[in-house]
Chain A
Amino acid sequence: MNFLITAKRFLFCSLLIYLVLKLLFCSGLLTEYIQQIILLAFIAILTSLGLNVIYGYTGQFSLGHAGFYGVGAYTAAYLGAAFEVEGLLGFLPILFLGGAAAGLLGYVIGVPILRLRDDFLAIATLGFGILIRVLLDNSDKVSEILGGSRGFIGIPKLVNLEIAFGAMVFLLLVTRNLIFSQFGLFWRCIKDDELAAGVFGINTSGLKLTAFTYGCFLAGIGGALYAYLYSFLHPSNFDFLKSIDFLIIVIVGGMGSITGTIYAGFLWVAVIEGLRILLPTQMLELRWVFIPILLIVVMMWKPFGLLARKESGFLGLRGER
């Protein structure tokens, strides 16, 4: 019960946000397109949270996050097609299995790869991300449903506000508790000084692996939600640039800050999709000219991100870093 009491402010806030969103969704003020963007923001936050656990909290530089996101998406979509899943009860296990597949892959890859450090780890994960993209491009040779470079079509649209928001809130809560448990303490120790952490008897390689597996699991869940939100998957949605998207959210929000990831996730999706709506059609090509400039300016203004290692009160973490 302590779990719920410490998080009561967070749960209360989420309930409030949910009610507001539900009202907006039902009232018809928001078009289908904007509703989809809001759900996409939840997915982006969830996936970036996984990267924040890996990079922001544990300090393991991963540039292949979109690969795990893609594995989650394709696994969930494939399982859904194979077992002809319908309805919520059928969807939840699929969602979990999508996350589990990405987590398992993260574990298997993590065992050898996490021996590397810093930029070497970055380049190895980057390579792995591209490898996954290549495999997805060739996936139609394994099974015709996967579609290869033509894309995976015909996934039922099962994700609605309740599922996306519920999954995000639940996993935010789990992540928050993990971060402020002994696990999280050790993760942060490893980030600050791996050698010293090892000297204090922390099992550094084991805990790095735990963080990596958990982060990939979150990416897989995000991917599975994405698959059932957009009902179409293409390998190009999971390439290197997508990994960069998540990295931007984590770094702009602030490394090691759940609140920062939430804000930056919303901001990122709002800026990308908002400019699409705001700019007149003939200026639409300027969208990706503005975004990088904005990014560079933000980085010069706040080199440590918007909320580096700070949490706002609503997570129920008074006094804790």
Chain B
Amino acid sequence: MEFLSYFLQQIVNGLQLGAVYALIALGYTMVYGVIRLINFAHGDVFMVGAFTAYTLISKWHLPVYLVFPLTMAVTALLGFLIEKIAYKPLRAAPKNSLLITAVGVSLFLEYFLSMNSLLTPNYIAFPRPFEVTSFHLGLLTINNIQLSIFFITAFSLWLLYLLIYKTKYGQAMRALSHDREAASLMGIPVDGIISFTFIVGGALAGLGGILYGFAYPQINVFMGIMPGIKSFIAAVLGGIGIIHGAVLGGLIIGLSEVFVSAFLSSTLRDGVIFFILFLVLFLKPSGIFGKRIDKV
């Protein structure tokens, strides 16, 4: 009985972490879909989101319902600027130069913000915007932070679904990820849609940053690196470029990370994630939902 309760608790914890990974993975998968770039700076957009929320809550004392839209606006703007300043001039350049530029942007954001006059490289305690209260549902204990994370993630996924499958913008994004040249011949404004993708991805990463801060109230300028890599792996796991694949991948990664920490050893959790990745890549290189094997 005790074990079952512990087990269920780990599922809740895993879903909580997985929801954050899913939000970040969506940005990776959308950007990869439209410009075929592993956007290494995306993890740092997530970090900026967490710090923006921290500033808004603890310095400006804004209510929670304002923190969400403001933070997402800041990270959306950041995503937009990164694309405009760093990636757009390299649109015609070989892919690896673009990748190095992305790494450059990532390092710049981390080290620029870690200066002592700005955010400092130290860990900062993220303020809880509301009291934590736990609810006991039979064997399961769930607190309001976890509930709000699940609810907000589900709601934003529903909005994203509407955006991508029911609007012209989403249709244009999907067209772009199928074939960029054909899309531009059909009169789709390629540059505009790429910017739009970065804006949506940035906003989702910002949301992920806030929720991460709620759940794990220790933030740091370098916190984006590992969640960033893991989220990209989540995107690959589900099939890169596929929206529901990124969500499922994020949940799998989150659950396995929590389960390995709980039942094996917390030092091995990163290793197990990569083991899962290898397994999926060998069995089905295009990911769980991927349909075609990528040609050259």
- A interface residue numbers (CB < 8 A to B): 55, 61, 112-113, 115-120, 122-124, 126-128, 130-131, 133-135, 137-138, 193-195, 240, 244, 247-248, 251-252, 255, 285-289, 291-293, 295-296, 299-300, 303-305
Contacts and interface: CB of A to CB of B under 8 A. Distances in A.
Nearest to B237: A123
Nearest to A196: B296
B40 to A, nearest CB: 9
A285 B114 contact: yes
Nearest to A133: B270
Given A123-B236, A295-B104, A299-B100, A116 B281 contact: yes
B100 A194 contact: no
A195 B107 CA distance: 36
B271 A120 contact: no
A296 B296 contact: no
B296 A122 contact: no
Contact of A293 (B106, B108, B114, B240): B108
A240 B89 contact: no
Contact of B90 (A119, A288, A291, A300): A300
B278 interface: yes
Contact of B115 (A61, A112, A285, A300): A285
Contacts of B38: 119, 122-123
B236 A292 contact: no
A49 B5 CA distance: 54
Mostly, the B contact residues are: helix
Nearest to B114: A285
Contact of A252 (B93, B100, B274): B100
Contact of B86 (A61, A113, A296): A296
Interface size class of B (residues with CB under 8 A): 35 or more
Closest 5 CB pairs of A and B: A303-B93, A127-B274, A288-B111, A292-B108, A295-B104
6 contacts: A119-B32, A123-B38, A123-B281, A127-B278, A131-B271, A248-B100
Mostly, the A contact residues are: helix
Contacts of B273: 127
B48 interface: no
Contacts of B267: 134, 137-138
Given A135-B271, A303-B90, 13 more contacts: A112-B278, A117-B296, A119-B38, A120-B236, A130-B270, A131-B274, A134-B271, A194-B296, A247-B103, A251-B100, A295-B101, A296-B101, A299-B93
Given A117-B296, A244-B103, A296-B101, A124 B277 contact: yes
Nearest to A127: B274
B285 A251 contact: no
Contacts of A248: 100, 103
A131 B106 CA distance: 22
Nearest to B100: A251
B94 interface: yes
A303 to B, nearest CB: 3
Contact of B105 (A244, A285, A296): A296
A283 to B, nearest CB: 10
Contacts of B282: 112, 115
A151 B267 CA distance: 16
B30 interface: no
Contact of B107 (A115, A291, A304): A291
In the complex, which of the residues A124, A134, A244, A292 has the most CB atoms of chain B within 10 Å of its own CB atom? A292
A130 B160 CA distance: 32
B133 interface: no
A289 B296 CA distance: 36
B294 interface: yes
A247 to B, nearest CB: 7
Given A130-B270, A303-B90, A124 B278 contact: yes
Contacts of B96: 55, 61, 251, 255
Given A112-B282, A128-B274, A292-B108, A118 B294 contact: yes
Contact of A240 (B112, B229, B240, B296): B229
A289 B111 contact: yes
